Amino acid sequence: MYDVLHTERNVTQNDVKINAQGVQVYYGDTHAIKDVSVEIEDKTVTAFIGPSGCGKSTFLRCLNRMNDTIDICRVTGDIRIDGEDIYDKRVDPVQLRAKVGMVFQKPNPFPKSIYDNIAYGPRIHGMASSKAELDEIVERSLRRGAIWDEVKDRLQAPGTGLSGGQQQRLCIARAIATEPEVLLMDEPCSALDPIATAQVEELIDELRSNYSVVIVTHSMQQAARVSQKTAFFHLGNLVEYGDTGKIFTNPEDSRTESYITGRIG
Amino acid sequence: MTDMKNASDAPRKRISLTETDAHTRKRNASEARFKAYGLGAILIGLFFLVVLATSIIRSGVPAFTRTVLEVEFTLTQEQFDAAEKQLFKTKAYQAVFIDAMTQKLTEDGVTASFDNAAIERLLGKIGNDLRGHYTANTGDLGKSVNFILPASSRVDGYFNGRVTRDTLVDSRFLQLSDLDLVDALHDAGLLKQGFNWTFITGADSGVDNPGGAGIGASVVGSFFMMLVVLVLSLPIGVAASIYLEEFAPQNRWTDLIEVNISNLAAVPSIVFGILGLAVFIQFMHLPQSAPLVGGLVLTLMTLPTIIISTRASLKSVPPSIRDAALGVGASKMQAVFHHVLPLAMPGILTGTIIGLAQALGETAPLLLIGMVGFVARGYPDGFMDGFVEPNSAMPAQIYTWAARADVSFYDKAWGGIIILLMFLLTMNIIAIILRRRFERRW
């Protein structure tokens, strides 16, 4: 199965979008991320896999400084997006998060209309100067989020009234409405059924042409299906990072092999 | 492993599902007992509620009725001129009135005897009312005018059952013989009971005139106090809670503040009263008995309630909403004001209105800063004066009435409680409506 995938995959070398070097994360006294260095490429889907509690979500949240909202969390090391240190004193995390969008594990639409869910980001960033322009952004985002056909007739209906899979695609559309350069996805399909998962995965593959997508997933099949690069985390360490095909067929580290073959995790 | 194997090997007693075993029966019995206790507690509560409501209504309703003498009376120009020449003018009017009454009663066949003193006991000094009317409306001279004269509170008491022939002791207020006259006037349809507007619109009347006492002025006092409380405690309370809940770092200082706020909510209200007396009146020299000071004291009292309920409702907003807002690049403040606060609104409003209702019913601190009932002798002259002119508030007014010697004030106190409860009920209904309107599901 992996051989088939491997032959289909055409791995191209892209520019480095995010460069993390020697990242350490502490929650109080707990050392959650231990000296992780990784280079994430542009226009590529990068998957973080690993057993629960291995630090993959924590590392993902470092990339748009969502960990700042947790008081006891401390991050050291160097994370650069397009060569700029995002933990620099001068960097405003709000500006950073407009550039690095995020989709969460549980669909979390605002308890507002579908339209307002999408329009909120563009509104607060002043991206539209008129109602017509905003309408256009909303339609474009919903189309790119592959949900336009399902909701175009009820844009004023509450976003919370949609089904789980629709809600998650709405959240993805909301995240891309602000035109981010990187899209972080924290287990976006864990609350979805297989059909909705397939839709979201298809969407992720399409998004690759415009964005650098980083996805955390528990499902190795999903990582194999959607990603070009895979990073395997274990107990806070980045064990192995490389082309997805290689990780799944010919891992270098014995722990990676144990995990993908189901012996640990 | 081996133990488990042995256990499963042992022959198991088969229990039919249709017969309940002893353990299940015991569990079911204890559940049934618990339900019975709960139902009993609710029934006891309901019983006391009914007792309370009926006793309040039974005792309070007399405050809303009053006995009036309604009579047609004509004063000629000559009589007016003659009376105005007298030294004791009101006495002269009274004499003319009594003559006319005597004539009217004889025509109607009422035989009860009465004199000047009896009329005064029944109706007070009516000469004053008559003269007041005719000097102001000279055009009414020579015409038949319909007068509605309030009877004394003792007569009210006689109709309400508080004063009976058996318990009445002759005094300068009312004598046994007067009751014959009252009955005769009532039979003739002259003395009747009507709605007591004075109680709604009037001010406190002084210890010897329970009939003229009204709660209107202290309602106005309470209104201005609540205005101060609302304007101060809502913004301060909500701002403090938002800061503590969303922005403040979690450290020893914020823990200390949190503990202190919780403790403040439990401080007896009289402590706030003495604090208000010391700080606002003695130190800051704000006017005594002013609703402004009352409002400030009650604000201090209400703040912990509002802060605690606001923080609780902010906490109940799911963190995923904050993540969602921060994730699309909203600042912390935008996340709070655009998403968290609207969702917490129903809780905040409910907490605020409960706090206000508490403040509306608070008596002790008001007594300490001089907002006692007898201060409420009239309405403020203007809107701004409402804050600084000495006034009372509803609960303090009720307390003052309840403490007075004249039993007629007893009715007024109960009537005041009915009015107070009506305001509280209204506020609670508003709270429910607001909560429904702002409620959203997610």
Measuring CA to CA, which residue among B175, B187, B193 is closest to residue B115?
Answer: B175
pLDDT digits (tens, 9 = 90+) for A115-163: 999 999 999 988 888 999 999 999 999 988 888 989 999 999 999 889 8
The predicted pLDDT at position A185 comes to 93
- The superfamily in CATH containing domain B216-438 is MetI-like (1.10.3720.10)
Please calculate the CA angle B228-B438-A130 and round it to the nearest 5 degrees: 105
Asked if the model's pLDDT at residue A5 lies above 90, the reply is no
Biggest alpha carbon–alpha carbon distance for chain A: 57
B121: confidence class by pLDDT, cuts 50, 70, 90:
confident
The predicted pLDDT at position B85 comes to 84
Residue A12 burial (10 A CB sphere; 0-12, 13-18, 19+): exposed
Q: Which residues of B touch A174 (CB under 8 A)?
A: 324, 328
A39-59 mean pLDDT:
90
The predicted pLDDT at position B235 comes to 95
B26-49 mean pLDDT:
96
What proportion of chain B, given as a percentage, has pLDDT over 70? 96
Determine whether the interchain pair B331/A177 forms a contact, defined as Cβ–Cβ distance below 8 Å: no
Q: Which residue of B has its CA nearest to A172?
A: B328
The domain spans of chain A are: 5-260
Helices (H), chain A: 2-8, 56-62, 93-99, 114-124, 131-144, 148-151, 164-177, 194-207, 220-226, 244-249, 254-260
- B250, B339, B441 ranked by CB distance to A110: nearest: B339
- Between B238 and B3, the higher pLDDT residue: B238
B339: confidence class by pLDDT, cuts 50, 70, 90:
very high
Q: Which residue of A has its CA nearest to B439?
A: A111
The predicted pLDDT at position A4 comes to 45
Asked if the model's pLDDT at residue B36 lies above 90, the reply is yes
Closest approach of B322 to chain A, Cα-based (Å): 10
Three-state SS at B230? helix
Helices B291-315, B269-276: crossing angle, 10 deg rounding: 130
Distance (Å, whole) CA B156 – CA B212: 12
* Model pTM score: 0.79
Read off the amino acid at residue B219: V
Q: Which residue of B has its CA nearest to A174?
A: B328
B8: confidence class by pLDDT, cuts 50, 70, 90:
low
Q: Domain spanning A5-260: which CATH class is it, in words?
A: alpha beta
Closest approach of B264 to chain A, Cα-based (Å): 27
Q: Which of residues 300-339 of B touch A (CB under 8 A)?
A: 318, 320-331, 334, 338-339
A80-105 mean pLDDT:
89
Please calculate the CA angle A143-A148-A149 and round it to the nearest 5 degrees: 125
- Provide the CA A26 distance to its chain's centre, in angstroms: 22
The predicted pLDDT at position A211 comes to 86
Asked if the model's pLDDT at residue B309 lies above 90, the reply is yes
Residues on A contacting B at a C-beta cutoff of 8 Å: 64, 66, 69, 71, 94-95, 97-98, 101-104, 106, 108-111, 120-121, 124-125, 160, 171, 174-175, 177-178
A226: confidence class by pLDDT, cuts 50, 70, 90:
very high
The predicted pLDDT at position B272 comes to 93
Closest approach of B317 to chain A, Cα-based (Å): 11
Q: Is residue B392 within 8 Å of B217, Cβ to Cβ?
A: yes
Three-state SS at A108? coil
Interface A–B counts its CB contacts (< 8 A) at 67
B305-320 mean pLDDT:
93
Sequence-separated (6 or more) residues with CB below 8 Å from residue B277: B368, B369
- B326, B338, B339 ranked by CB distance to A69: nearest: B326
Read off the amino acid at residue B28: N
Distance (Å, whole) CA A76 – CA A64: 14
Asked if the model's pLDDT at residue B442 lies above 90, the reply is no
- B250, B327, B441 ranked by CB distance to A102: nearest: B327
Q: Which residues of B touch A177 (CB under 8 A)?
A: 328
Average pLDDT, chain B: 86
B7: confidence class by pLDDT, cuts 50, 70, 90:
low
B1: confidence class by pLDDT, cuts 50, 70, 90:
very low
The predicted pLDDT at position A1 comes to 43
A59-82 mean pLDDT:
88
Instruction: Enter the tokens of residue A214.
Output: 């980083």
pLDDT digits (tens, 9 = 90+) for B95-107: 888 888 878 777 7
The predicted pLDDT at position B39 comes to 97
Determine whether the interchain pair B321/A95 forms a contact, defined as Cβ–Cβ distance below 8 Å: no
Determine whether the interchain pair A106/B320 forms a contact, defined as Cβ–Cβ distance below 8 Å: yes
Determine whether the interchain pair A66/B323 forms a contact, defined as Cβ–Cβ distance below 8 Å: yes
Asked if the model's pLDDT at residue B208 lies above 80, the reply is no
pLDDT digits (tens, 9 = 90+) for B386-418: 898 899 999 999 999 999 888 888 888 999 999
pLDDT digits (tens, 9 = 90+) for B67-92: 888 888 888 888 888 888 888 888 88
Read off the amino acid at residue B360: L
ipTM of the complex: 0.84
Determine whether the interchain pair A98/B328 forms a contact, defined as Cβ–Cβ distance below 8 Å: yes
Asked if the model's pLDDT at residue B26 lies above 50, the reply is yes
